[in-house]
Amino acid sequence: NRIDDLQRSEEELKGLYTNLRFRYQEYQNQELKLDMSRGKPCPEQLELSKELLTILDAKEPIQARDGTDCLNYGGLDGLPEAKELFAEVLSVSPQEVIIGGNASLNMMHDTITNAMLFGLPGSELPWGRLPKVKFLCPSPGYDRHFAICELLGIEMIIVDLTPEGPDMDQVERLIAEDDQIKGIWCVPKYSNPEGITYSDRTVDRLATMRTKAKDFRIFWDDAYTVHHLTDQPDELKNILATCKEAGHPDRVFMYTSTSKVTFPGSGIGVMAASEDNLTFIRKKLSIQTIGPDKVNQLRHVRFLKNAAQMKQHMEKHAAIIKPKFDVVLQKLEAALGDMNIATWSKPNGGYFISLNTLDGCAREVVAMAKQAGVTLTHAGATFPYGQDPRDRNIRIAPTYPSLEELEKAIEVLCICVQLVSLDKRLSEPPR
């Protein structure tokens, strides 16, 4: 019932095609409604953090360690204990941390918007006054990073992603010759969607490389820093310390959040950078807001406590989602393993599995799956401007559906991958 390889006789392939079409039709008849489009925690994962809702006792003062009344105005950049907790998570000092609002993406957006309007420490002009601003975008990558660039008119340049991180030969060459390149997006650990973690060598090269723009910045979105799926987690070298050692302390802005630790949308966002960078950010923050949600910060600190406790909490997440990743990987292997029509990532953490079809097939596969009731992230989303130059990457988000739903959804996906590949092969002129 499978295409073991696409070199079979045309007659055999046509037989397989008919069989796959039949199975596809059967799934269509089931009127499925399965969604694997966004990396959302499932309800069982959200249960793990329900204590957050009751951890503060209304009969006690809602006070931070330094006596700050969290129910009132006061404090711009985060409670001291929250800074300490995330300083530990990111291996930086508390003075290098700002705790923000409910998520980190808006902190990234605001940093870049501020750079466009005012420039950053080291800028001669606001970026928005330059004829052109460009960012390097290691791809496949995170669609919402690319959306920020698109919104602000920042030209995106695709850089290949290797198993060690961005192709540093490409990065170094581009960055040394073009002063319009002001930034690079990095998801350095369990990257979205490839699941790769940057090697030490990549971190060293990013920190030491010669940049033509004096105010070049690395946007280091360490969103999945504690999201391990195994007990042998990937290790990521500390970028801020490495930049400092290289004499470029202001080169990096780091970000993380608890969106997929506690509650997406009601977590806390965090950024870290050199003290000069943070002085600049605080100045802008003081106009943007009187202060963040300290109640939420206090709840989070009381609940998560410290990095060791957070690690235990994340192990509970892994216990729920690891079987889902395993099901996807097993199903992909069983259906497509020896066929040479697809490859996929096998991540040690994070939220995604990245599937590459044959060139020119991803859009059609996603459309076919949709017609059978399986919603995937739209093809192309993992590349700047929503355009995958090879039309082959599909991001699978296994965490939200139940195991049963996931099994079905991946079966449908595998049928679609086979059908589209076969269709392509059968329509090619005979060799």
What residue ranges bind ligand PMP (CB under 6 A)? 39, 103-105, 142, 187, 192, 221, 223, 257, 259, 264, 269
Residue 36: strand, helix, or coil? strand
Nearer Cβ to ligand PMP (119/141) = 141
**Least distance in angstroms from the C-beta of 192 to ligand PMP:** 4
Distances (CA, A) of 337 to 20, 21, 418: 17, 20, 12
Report strand pairing: 342-344 vs 353-357: antiparallel
Nearer Cβ to ligand PMP (249/264) = 264
Contact 41, 317 (CB under 8 A): yes
Any idea how long the chain is?
431
**Least distance in angstroms from the C-beta of 201 to ligand PMP:** 22
Nearer Cβ to ligand PMP (229/415) = 229
Phi-psi group of 43: left, alpha or beta (phi > 0 → left; psi -120 to 50 → alpha; rest → beta)? alpha
Nearer Cβ to ligand PMP (187/422) = 187
Residue 424: strand, helix, or coil? helix
Nearer Cβ to ligand PMP (186/412) = 186
**Least distance in angstroms from the C-beta of 46 to ligand PMP:** 14
**Least distance in angstroms from the C-beta of 42 to ligand PMP:** 14
What is the secondary structure of 148-203 as a DSSP string?
HHHHHTPEEEEEEEETTEE-HHHHHHHHHH-TTEEEEEE--SS-TTT-----HHHH
**Least distance in angstroms from the C-beta of 412 to ligand PMP:** 24
Contact 240, 206 (CB under 8 A): no
Nearer Cβ to ligand PMP (171/261) = 261
Helix boundaries (H) for 30-67: 43-47
**Least distance in angstroms from the C-beta of 2 to ligand PMP:** 33
**Least distance in angstroms from the C-beta of 195 to ligand PMP:** 11
Nearer Cβ to ligand PMP (217/248) = 217
**Least distance in angstroms from the C-beta of 211 to ligand PMP:** 23
Contact 164, 202 (CB under 8 A): yes
Task: Give 3-state DSSP helix, strand, coil % of the chain, rounded to 5.
Answer: 45, 15, 40
Nearer Cβ to ligand PMP (103/136) = 103
Residue least distant from ligand PMP (Cβ): 257
Cα dihedral sign, 195-201-202-207: positive
